[in-house]
Amino acid sequence: MAIRNLAPRDEGGYSFLWVMFTVAALAMSTALAGIVWSTDVRRQKERELIFVGRQFADAIGRYYESTPGAAKEYPPSLDALVADSRFLGVRRHLRRIYVDPITGTTQWGTVIVANRIVGVYSESAVEPLKVGNFEPTEALFADSKKYSQWVFTYPTDLKVTASPGDLVLAPGGQPIGNARPVSGNNN
């Protein structure tokens, strides 16, 4: 007859430690995945902002270039980009007023020259993740401290800042009229 070891095993403490280690590792990996996901979402919103900003700049350019007659003019409001009333039929330079992907609203800052819109910008004061490697048309966005400094204009080489009181500068640094950045959607 074999003698059995009837002493209780003392493995309960190690199993508990193993479960606690596994739970901690899962919690850390979940937190890391959340951070990566959040950063990825912000980068996607930045790409959307650049796309939408280009759409606005292109629409402003189409409005300007299609002005009847010799004297070209910029749109008086963002709504004029959606329904250009200078023609008999409805002419659309933009399908709709796009939502700002950063703020989640259709409220855009506008850059005004002589009561006409030459550009738009997000009103967000959040610091962007992207600070370099921009396309040449957005090269002025490099090292911006907030999204509102990403100003989309027509023509794209206008040097503009979205801080109140700053002037719009033409290529070469010459001020354009009584340019002033104005916050607001359509006026």
pLDDT above 80: residue 101: yes
**Which positions ≥6 away from 173 have C-beta within 8 Å?**
159
Which residue from 55, 26, 81, 42 is spatially nearest to 152, judged by alpha carbons?
55
Sorted by where each begins, the domain ranges of the chain are 49-183
pLDDT attached to residue 46: 95
The chain-wide mean pLDDT, for the chain, equals: 81
Which residue from 39, 139, 50, 29 is spatially nearest to 101, judged by alpha carbons?
50
Which residue from 120, 124, 125, 90 is spatially nearest to 185, judged by alpha carbons?
120
pLDDT attached to residue 9: 60
Quote the tokens at residue 128.
Answer: 């962007």
Q: Cα separation of 114 and 135, whole Å?
A: 29
Q: What is the pLDDT of residues 111-144, one digit of tens each?
A: 888 888 999 999 999 999 998 889 888 888 888 8
Q: Cα separation of 166 and 30, whole Å?
A: 45
Cα dist from 120 to 22, 151, 177, whole Å: 50, 6, 18
- Identify the band that residue 172 occupies on the pLDDT scale cut at 50, 70 and 90: very low
**Longest Cα pair distance anywhere in the chain, in angstroms?**
114
128 in Cβ contact with 147 (< 8 Å): yes
- For the beta carbon of residue 130, count every other beta carbon within 10 angstroms: 18
Which residue from 29, 176, 38 is spatially nearest to 113, judged by alpha carbons?
176
Quote the tokens at residue 158.
Answer: 């206008």
pLDDT attached to residue 78: 96
Q: What is the pLDDT of residues 135-166, one digit of tens each?
A: 888 888 888 899 988 989 998 877 654 444 44
Quote the tokens at residue 139.
Answer: 């090269």
- For the beta carbon of residue 176, count every other beta carbon within 10 angstroms: 16
